[in-house]
Chains A and B, each alone.
Chain A
């Protein structure tokens, strides 16, 4: 990418879609929750579950141990439900969907029209609080794969939802998770039947459009025995000078011999150069490797959001299960990130691997915080952690806070971390061969992140590489 191109590259997803909205009244109350449940036509058990979470929320306190501090959020001044009016009665097919919405997704580079798609990716598009469309449903149905909005799953597949919802992230886990349990609106539900390999990538695209609205989505993925699924998640939001809250819960369950690969490219609006506006991305992501030989792999490229605060984790319950975490977190200007993972080893012969790359530029703060906990019964377990930080300029910060616990003698834990700046020699070498400073930095940073970028599915990898360059725009020189 040319350097002029880089310079002119503002946040390109910052537009707003002018569309008539239906919003639930502001504020967090039992009425709001009942209204959401009513709009979604939920059964009683679901409403009860939400109210239980709400009651629990009343006694919980917002955590305050994180590195990035933020002004107090007024939970009564938020909209908890917002949907385009045209979505009130769910359109039966893509032809019935409001053209404005289709256009929005085209602009974001996510055509919902199946014919236009070259690659085989099935998309569930979530706009504010509702799912707009899910593509390739027919093809997935044939294999018995369920891929639908969670609100649909609650009514159509209650036995699965009842069994797994809240089984990885309990209702009373922590403040934001409980808040989500009470007010979650939409998100994706995936069920892969036994011994099935999902033939295409599944993907959800989240878009926050309305102002003063929080997005609370809930994703639940279940991979039954011997199955495989690769799931992608993308997110954008308009440019606004207010901070918006995004508190999602993502639960993954992998049974015997199953594998889930979960990739995120997070590009929420990061706020402007002076740190005004942007999304607060407070997300709880957790996967349980319940079965033997199961595997969960998290890959994340975090370039957006004013504050990113999340720890995609793996609970390795099944013997021989594997957890992986690959992360790139880039913070520029006034962005702040406090991210990492938790690997909780409970089963025998469990393995985990953590590769984290943090890049900090401008006045940003980037923290890796992680936990590796090897239980007394997790014999012969292994963990390898590598977290590298790159600093660009002396107004930014890079921090590493790993927690390492090892409770048995047959397990091995290795942790390595380094912090440095871009190597002068490498820069000089690139400059010498005719690359200007910005191109050289972009090249070196991409090399620094290579280990993680490699883990992304093809379609995402190209996009993510570009994103890495754009995010660091203006940070050199």
Chain B
């Protein structure tokens, strides 16, 4: 294990105390190492195996300089935040009131002490290079979406990025946050922990997109809590990474909140993606809706592990979970574990999971109408995935997502 990891903690520590703290956490991490499939949460994605197979040595990153120009998205007006290798570089919130949207550098997520079982959290604390802390003040609805340009420099081979972010929406606020990953062909690891707090009557829409194919190995853990009548909508469209695991752990603390997790993934050769969710219904009258769609080509692996937990007081819960996979190649694989844990009786909870190939009848139908096979397939795949981002209300963003999905499908 020590041979694989070669971290320099001194270089990233600003004080003796910090160094000691980092050393302590690194020691904790090294005791257990990377999670493997013996760990129920990593049953389908043996991270230890994957990392050992693809990396010979790993060092931490302490370079946060730009080395290229960013091509901004021109499809719609937006504010932006630029992160270079996970660390906050600059921001431009020109469409918003200065006192209402606050952003600053975050050093570590100290209050997040409930990841006791998660060894990657110890690693994150040991090596964290910060991230951002975003606050939307109460009664403020953001006029334009904020895009996070998640930029990765070109010297990241065999490096590991550890960062942590915090997003807070105060009462009656609203925000659309788009995370846009841009990376070069480097082979690197990223380990992110994010905390989201959505207060009473607030709405957060969170969209994750991967721009180009990347050799990145990403892990992201999102944990959050929701107040009364709040809404959280998470769209995950991050195809293109070699390995990606997104864990969402959402606590519906107060009545009448709703939580949507929607993912549309189109995985190509050598890609391995896992979405793991845990939606905790802790108060009555809440609603949660999860829909995960995977298109699997070549030897890709798609995984969905979802859990709905309903506490005994959370009556009138309406929870739904659906995972669908289109397997296009005999080498591809889809694994699912949609789990329900329910302690309240007046609830409506259901889940469904299907996997199979493209419907032959539908292809036949299209071909009889003069559409050639490959086009017919693409049309059906498009229909399969577009159901996910149809739930995005802003027209311009929807068109933008549609364009990205179409580009991905054309590449098949």
Contact = CB atoms under 8 A, between A and B. Distances in A.
B342 A402 contact: no
Contacts of B338: 400, 402, 404, 415, 417
Given A397-B341, A408-B330, A415 B354 contact: yes
Interface in A334-354: none
A416 B350 contact: yes
Interface in A403-426: 403-421
Interface stretch (A260-268, A321-329, A387-395): A387-395
A403 B343 contact: no
A404 B336 contact: yes
A402 B347 contact: no
Interface stretch (B25-33, B154-162, B239-247, B321-329): B321-329
B354 A417 contact: no
A412 B341 contact: no
Contacts of A400: 338-340, 351
A400 B347 CA distance: 15
Interface string B253-288: 000000000000000000000000000000000000
Nearest to B307: A401
A395 B312 contact: yes
Query: Interface of chain A, helix or strand or loop or mixed?
Result: strand
Given A412-B356, A415-B353, A416-B352, A398 B340 contact: yes
Contact of B333 (A407, A410, A412, A420): A407
A399 interface: yes
Given A405-B333, A406-B334, A417 B343 contact: no
A248 B340 CA distance: 29
Contacts of B325: 406
A155 B333 CA distance: 47
B337 A402 contact: yes
A394 B312 contact: yes
B335 A405 contact: yes
B356 A399 contact: no
Contacts of A398: 340, 342
A376 interface: yes
Interface residues of A, number: 35
B346 to A, nearest CB: 6
Contacts of B331: 376
B294 to A, nearest CB: 11
A139 B342 CA distance: 51
Nearest to B350: A418
Interface string A416-452: 1111110000000000000000000000000000000
Nearest to A371: B337
Contact of B342 (A397, A405, A407, A411): A397
Interface residues of B, number: 36
A409 B294 CA distance: 13
Contact of B337 (A404, A406, A408): A404
Nearest to B311: A394
Given A395-B312, A404-B353, A412-B355, A420 B347 contact: yes
B347 A406 contact: no
A379 B329 CA distance: 12
B346 A421 contact: yes
Interface in B342-396: 342-357
A376 B329 CA distance: 11
A393 B345 contact: yes
B348 A420 contact: yes
Contacts of A414: 352-354
A389 B347 CA distance: 11
Given A391-B345, A394-B312, A406 B327 contact: yes
B340 A419 contact: yes
A396 B347 CA distance: 13
A303 to B, nearest CB: 20
A110 B9 CA distance: 75
Contacts of B342: 389, 391, 397-399, 419
B340 A413 contact: no
Contact of B355 (A65, A389, A404, A418): A404
B268 to A, nearest CB: 15
B88 interface: no
A396 B345 contact: yes
B315 interface: yes
Contact of B356 (A65, A391, A411): A411
Nearest to A391: B345
Nearest to B344: A394
B146 interface: no
B189 interface: no
Nearest to A384: B354
A410 B360 CA distance: 11
A419 B312 contact: no
A420 B329 CA distance: 37
A398 B350 CA distance: 12
Contacts of A399: 339-342
A425 to B, nearest CB: 14
Nearest to B359: A412
A394 B350 contact: no
Nearest to B346: A421
Contact of A376 (B313, B330, B351): B330
B352 A415 contact: yes
Nearest to B302: A406
Contact of B352 (A392, A409, A417, A421): A417
Contacts of B410: none
A412 B345 contact: no
B332 interface: yes
Nearest to A421: B345
A60 to B, nearest CB: 16
A366 to B, nearest CB: 10
A395 B343 CA distance: 7
Contacts of A402: 336-339, 353
B355 A413 contact: yes
Contact of B335 (A391, A404, A412): A404
B278 to A, nearest CB: 13
B407 interface: no
Most buried by B among A391, A395, A411: A391
A413 B353 contact: yes
A409 B332 contact: yes
B111 interface: no
A412 B358 CA distance: 10
Contacts of A392: 345
A409 B329 contact: yes
Given A376-B330, A404-B335, A414-B352, 18 more contacts: A379-B330, A389-B340, A393-B345, A394-B312, A394-B344, A395-B312, A402-B339, A404-B337, A409-B327, A409-B329, A409-B357, A412-B354, A413-B353, A413-B354, A414-B354, A415-B351, A420-B347, A421-B345
27 contacts: A65-B40, A394-B315, A394-B343, A396-B343, A396-B345, A398-B340, A399-B340, A399-B341, A400-B351, A401-B339, A403-B337, A404-B334, A404-B336, A404-B355, A406-B327, A406-B333, A406-B335, A406-B356, A409-B328, A411-B356, A412-B355, A413-B354, A413-B355, A414-B353, A414-B354, A419-B342, A420-B348
Interface of A: 65, 376, 379, 389, 391-421
Which 4 A-B pairs give the minimum distances between C-beta atoms? A412-B356, A391-B345, A415-B353, A400-B340
Interface of B: 40, 312-313, 315, 325, 327-357
